[in-house]
Structures are given as structure tokens and as C-alpha cells.
Amino acid sequence: MPNLSAKEVEAKQKNIDNIPKIIALASPDNYAKDKKETKDLIKSDGPYIALGKVSAKADEEHQIVYDSAGETLEPIYFWILDMMNGMFSGKVKKVVDNFSSTAGSGHFSELQGKATRMQEEAMKMMQTIGVLIKSIINIVYDLKDFQVRFSQYDAAKAKDDLNSRAGVLALKQIWMDNVDVKRGNTSLKGMAAQFGYATLIDAFMASNSIEDTRNLDLNDRVKKIIEQRIFEFLKWKELSEEELRKRFQIEKAYLKNQIDSLKMYTRWAKPYLRAASQLSMKNLDDPGLVTAFNTILLQLTLMGRKKYDVEDSIYQGRLNPKFPKKKVRDYYSCVLVDFNFRGVPDGIPQRSGNAYIMRGRTEVNFRSYTLCEEELKLIDKMMDETDINEALSLADGMTTESLEAIRKDLEYFLGKDLTGISMEDEEKRDEKKKSNGGFFGDFFSFGKKKEEKKEPEFGKIRKDNFFEETVRSLAQEESKQMCFKIFSTYKKAHGMPAHKNPYEW
């Protein structure tokens, strides 16, 4: 989601569910009532603020209104959904699902109670995710410290005298600071500072074995102290390396376990976040919502899309057999169905199991559109920026972004990247890419234009060329016919007066 100003965020939250206006922004030449004004608004204010100001239209519009205390929304919704699934081969998407109820209703208190429980469970999961992320970061830092210590042990074993001497001196310093210092006044540093053993530390640093200690030009008392400490240091060096390497392996295994747990808790948190967002009421400024009434408003929108088949049009004779198919984009016949329901039950709400049976006024709007692939991408992109998707992206963001920040460290210690591809496979894949490129790859690709696919932007989608205008007009006829067919078939199936289909070929 882009960085938005406070004004843009407010405009987005208020108008993001108005799909006809989003379509008008994506395709102002076809579905904005004032093309120039809409384009100017997009350019000056941006798409989110323009969303609240644009006026939209459709290729075809029909409406059915029920105003009956005996009618519920469910039979209407599912009948139309099933018919659309058949017409669009299952490519029907629910793009809006909002509700709002009055504060004095039983429906309000019950759903708010459920939403609170979902929010509490989601927050528990998110807190656990935060703890796991901190644990992973701490483990990575511990493993890095181990790596530094191992470099000192490896240097002490090196055949090179300079590296070996430097490694041993570093380990001796660690031993004095962390092990010998626990003796207090009898430690090497304590005796050198308090009892005048000025040569004690230098003698310890100069000796690498008991034989070296015996050859020192020092008095016997100092030699005996150095012999004892050298013996302890050599034993410590051997055992500490072994234990550190064991702990390193245990920490690596624990790191993998923590990452798996993090991903698991992220999956667990998503259903609660989704449910909490779905149970949150939309702030609908509708005069039908009166605080003391027992009223509910529902907003549902279905969108079916079908790719226009150019091959089939050529076969049926609508297009010339020599029509240049490669010069046109993909076009889709789309039907948008909006359900607006106002439920006003008589007296105490009727209930069936755990669900309210709401009866009242239902308004169904049928609209048809014809959109190219880029326009649909823009519409999908804006519709995805709903509260539900933002809530789900919170969990993904905490997990993915945190792991991406330490990705190289995780790949180094675990030998695998976050997608599960081993580092060896990654290297082979990179080598394969190089083998296909290099000088010869550049030579043979000389003169070829590399097509870079750019993300579409509002107000910047190119106009249709001559061939695309032809395909769009044919797809438009198809979408109009499909829209009318859903509207007319529903009326006929329910015994209502119907009109003859004006779009039959």
C-alpha cells in the first residue's frame, strides 16, 4: 500500500467500497460521466481523493426492488450467485461485504461481542509473533558471537605461526576475563594488582605449554603459578571449543524451530484477524439507521468476469479471419451486481439457530462493463486495499519483513533461504543464468527490445487502437447481454413481468 496522507486515507476508507466509481477511475474514457474532470482530479488529487468526487456510469443498468416484510436477502443473493457462477464458469468474486446495525439492536451487541473475542485472540497471536521475532534476532546474534569465537579457535590451530600465536593470545585473554577472574584476589589480574606479581600476566601470555613455563627466567613461585594456570587454560581451550560447537548446533536447530513456529502462528493469526475485520461494522451514513430502532443495513457486491474469446468471434464470423489477434489486449465482459438490504424486523428479532432472520427492503442493481486487462489490475489493486486485507498484511508484514531483514544471516546459518531453496540449488540456478548470458548472450540479444512490464497507473492507461476498439465493442455487447439475461431470468423465474431481450444476436 502506498504512503498516503491523512486526507487520502480518510477518503479511501469512506469510498473504497464504491466499485462503480473505482471502475470510472480505471477507465475514465468509458465509464466516467465527465472524462476531462475525472482525469484532472486523478492528476491533481490522486485516485483516493478523486474516488469521492467522480461520477460513474455503466454500459447497461437494471434494478429490482423488493419491499416486503416477508422477503429475506439470502434467497435472492444465492439464486443470483448460482446463476452467475454458471455464466462466468465460477469466476465470480465477492468484492464488497459490509454491514451496519443500530447501537440499540440486539444484533449490534451480539456481533460486537463476537468481534471483541476475535480481536482478543488475534492480539494474543500477534504478541506471540512479536516474542518469536525477538527470539530469532537474539539467536542470530548469539550465532554470530559463536562464529567470532570459532575464528579464534581456528586461528590457534593454524599452521601459520603468526595466526596461531594471535589466536592463542586472544583465547588467553578470554580465559583471564571470564574464567580466571572468578578466583577474585588469587586470579592472575588480582595477584598482579594487589600482591606485586608484575611479571605474572606477561609470563602467562608468553607460555604456550608447561615446558615453556619451566624455561622461563623467573623465580620458582611464579613458575608454579604459571604452570598451574597454563594447565587449566589448555584443558579449558579443548573442552570449551567442543562445548561451544555443540551449543552452536543446538542453537541452529532452535533457530529453525523458532522460524517454523513463527510461520505457524502467522497462519493461526490470519483467521482471527480476518474474522475480526469482517465483524467490524462499516460506518454507513444512512438515515435508515436510527439508534433506538432495531435495524440492520447490508451491502454486498458480486463481480463476474469473462475473457472475450477473439478466436470464437472469428469462427462465428464477427471478425475477419485475418484479424491481427496479437495487436490487441485481453478484454473482459464484466457484470456487477449490488445488493442493498435494510432489515426492520417486527418486535423481537426472529432467530434460526445462531443467525438472525432479517426481513425488509432489498434493492438489487445490475451493471455491465467491458474492461481491458490493465484496467482490471487497477481495480483489483484498489479493492485489495480493504480493511480485511490490511489486517492480514499486518501478520505477513511482521513475519516476512522481519525475516527479510536478516535473510542473509538465516541463509548462512541454516543453509536455506526463506523459500526453501538450498544455497547449492541457488548457486546452480545463478550459474545457469550466467551460462545463458555473458558476452555471447548479449551478442545474440543485440537489437532485441526488452519489454519491461510496468505496473498500470490511474490515468495513464493507453487508449485503444483501432483493432482494440473493435474487440471492446464486441465484448461490450456480450456483457450487456449477460447483464440483461441475469436480470430478466430472475424476474421470469419469480413470476415477474419481463421484457424481450434486445441484445440477442
The grid coordinates of residue 347 equal 418486535
Residue 136: inside a domain, yes or no? yes
Residue 410: inside a domain, yes or no? no
pLDDT of amino acid 75: 86
CA-CA distance, 158 to 288, in Å (whole number)?
Answer: 83
How far from 441 is each of 360, 438, 487, CA to CA, in Å? Answer: 69, 5, 57
How far from 282 is each of 47, 99, 110, 286, 296, CA to CA, in Å? Answer: 21, 6, 16, 11, 11
State CA 119 to chain mean position distance.
Answer: 19
Bridge pairing between strands 359-372 and 331-343: antiparallel
Per-residue pLDDT for the chain (505 aa), expressed as one digit of tens each?
Answer: 455 555 555 555 555 668 888 899 889 989 988 888 888 888 888 887 888 888 889 998 999 988 876 677 888 889 999 999 999 988 898 888 877 776 666 667 677 777 788 888 888 888 888 888 888 889 988 888 888 888 888 888 888 778 888 888 888 888 888 888 888 888 888 887 777 777 778 788 888 787 777 777 777 888 888 888 888 888 888 898 889 889 999 988 898 888 888 888 888 887 777 777 767 666 556 665 656 566 778 888 999 999 998 888 888 888 888 888 788 889 999 999 999 888 765 444 444 445 566 677 888 999 999 999 999 988 888 877 665 455 556 666 666 666 777 777 777 777 754 544 344 444 455 555 445 544 334 433 444 444 456 777 887 888 888 888 888 999 999 999 999 999 999 999 988 887 777 766 5
Residue 417: inside a domain, yes or no? no
pLDDT of amino acid 336: 94
Would you tell me how many other CB atoms lie within 10 Å of the CB of residue 73?
21
Residue 286: inside a domain, yes or no? no
Residue 32: inside a domain, yes or no? yes
Question: Radius of gyration over alpha carbons of the chain, in Å?
Answer: 36
pLDDT of amino acid 323: 83
Residues 22, 82 share a domain: no
Residues 194, 91 share a domain: no
pTM value?
0.63
Query: Nearest-5° angle of CA 141, CA 146, CA 150?
Result: 150
Residues 176, 82 share a domain: no
pLDDT of amino acid 182: 84
pLDDT of amino acid 79: 92
Residue 451: inside a domain, yes or no? no
Residues 219, 73 share a domain: no
Domains identified in the chain, total number: 3
Residues 75, 153 share a domain: no
Residues 327, 257 share a domain: no
pLDDT of amino acid 486: 93
Residues 186, 148 share a domain: yes
Locate all alpha helices (DSSP H) within 279-406, ordered by sequence.
310-315, 373-383, 387-396, 402-405
Domain coverage including residue 78: 58-102+292-384+472-505
Residue 438: inside a domain, yes or no? no
Residues 180, 143 share a domain: yes
